[in-house]
Amino acid sequence: MIQKGYGCAFGGGTIVNAVAAWKGCAYATELKTYAEVCLNSSFKNGSEISVCGKSHENPEMDSRLIELCVRYVLEQFDCRKNAAILTRSEIPAAGGLKSSSAAANACVLAALNAVGGELTPLETVQLGVRAAREAGVTITGAYDDACASYFGGVAVTDNKEMKLLNREEFNYNVLILNPGTKAYSAQTNVSRSLLVKELVEIAFEEALAGEYKKAMKLNGLLYCGVLGFDPKPAVSCMEIGKKYDIVCGLSGTGPSFTALLPEDRILTDSEKADLDLLKTEIMDDWKRQYPNCLIFETKTCNRTALSESRRFSEFMKAEKKDLADLQECFQTSVYNDEK
């Protein structure tokens, strides 16, 4: 008999990168990663459990992270079954947009859904961080990214102690520039990042005080400097959008940049029209700088990955669907239209 479980978690953007000081701040966006875990007991007694994972978008991508997440859940609940994992994602891989944290959280939640087990929210996040460290896809464990992906909103964390220092709602429209290249977090130049540790700590204190825009601006410029990214996309975006206090910064260890724009609900109709023109100007400027870039328009997200996973699981099981069968982009699917 095959048991299926489903999970979903959010991508995000960076306020303060934790590589230099082991303390970070990140926020969740509406870009998601979905996971399906199928458990099958058809194996010989005494044989090793098989856990096999695959990304729908990148079938050749290293699957160790998602396999470890599911294996740890099976071990936690003493579940002696083989597992097959499939993930599908709206988040570009190796873009600094929290794709690994989203995949880890989604797979842990899908495995819990499949075995019928429960962990506390922090236990769920910590299990995914443990898998990320074991898989070597992160330097600090990315506890800040994992908390933002799981809890939604903005999360301020101590990654070394794995402590969530603050979490609150975060309400912005988000514009994302992905230049079309990749930068793997585990390959980040840590020694160069440490050169700006004292300044990154200042950015972190601003974030801890709730001054997220100041922190994001300082963090982005610092890490562009030490990691060798051209800050021009952020600077030009902020220059174009200064009327509306648009802030833009490097996300994670790059190469993507994220910009925070005011939500429509706080603007008048004339301000919305004006901001739309400026947004078009920003995107056109980015396209001139990076002709092969990807640009995403999304929002910050304040829902939890657990609540989203439950809703997604109910939909998939009621419709008797498999993750591989959903051909539509999730952003326009029936599932998302039901929000």
CB atoms within 10 A of CB 67: 20
User: In the prediction, which pLDDT does 190 show?
Assistant: 86
Angle at the Cα of 178 (from 326 to 134), degrees rounded to 5? 75
Nearest to 29 by CA among 170, 137, 157: 170
Band of residue 49 on the pLDDT scale cut at 50, 70, 90 = confident
pLDDT reading at 337 higher than 80: no
Helical spans, DSSP H, in 31-76: 64-76
Alpha-carbon distance 140 to 17, whole Å?
Answer: 10
User: In the prediction, which pLDDT does 41 show?
Assistant: 78
CB atoms within 10 A of CB 60: 7
CATH of the domain at 277: 3.30.230.120
Q: Can you say whether the dihedral through the CA atoms of 239, 149, 141, 211 is positive or negative?
A: positive
Instruction: Give tens-digit pLDDT for 144-192.
Output: 999 999 999 999 999 999 999 999 999 999 999 999 888 877 678 889 9
Looking at the DSSP bridge assignments, the partners of residue 89 are 33
What average pLDDT does this structure show over 318-337?
Answer: 64
Alpha-carbon distance 287 to 80, whole Å?
Answer: 51
Instruction: Give me the number of domains the chain comprises.
Output: 1
- Give the range of the structural domain holding residue 156, as residue numbers without chain letter: 2-337
The two beta strands, 163-168 and 154-158, are antiparallel
Band of residue 331 on the pLDDT scale cut at 50, 70, 90 = very low
Alpha-carbon distance 314 to 304, whole Å?
Answer: 16
Q: Please provide the average confidence, as pLDDT, over all residues in the chain.
A: 93
Band of residue 333 on the pLDDT scale cut at 50, 70, 90 = very low
| Long-range Cβ pairs for the range 195-203 (8 Å, 24+) | 195/226, 196/20, 196/222, 196/223, 196/225, 196/226, 197/20, 197/21, 200/16, 200/17, 200/20, 200/21, 201/20, 201/21, 201/23, 203/16
User: In the prediction, which pLDDT does 77 show?
Assistant: 96
What average pLDDT does this structure show over 287-308?
Answer: 97
The structure's pTM equals 0.94
Nearest to 15 by CA among 122, 136, 167: 167
pLDDT reading at 129 higher than 70: yes
Nearest to 258 by CA among 16, 7, 84, 14: 14
Instruction: Give tens-digit pLDDT for 208-233.
Output: 999 999 999 999 999 999 999 999 99
User: In the prediction, which pLDDT does 44 show?
Assistant: 55
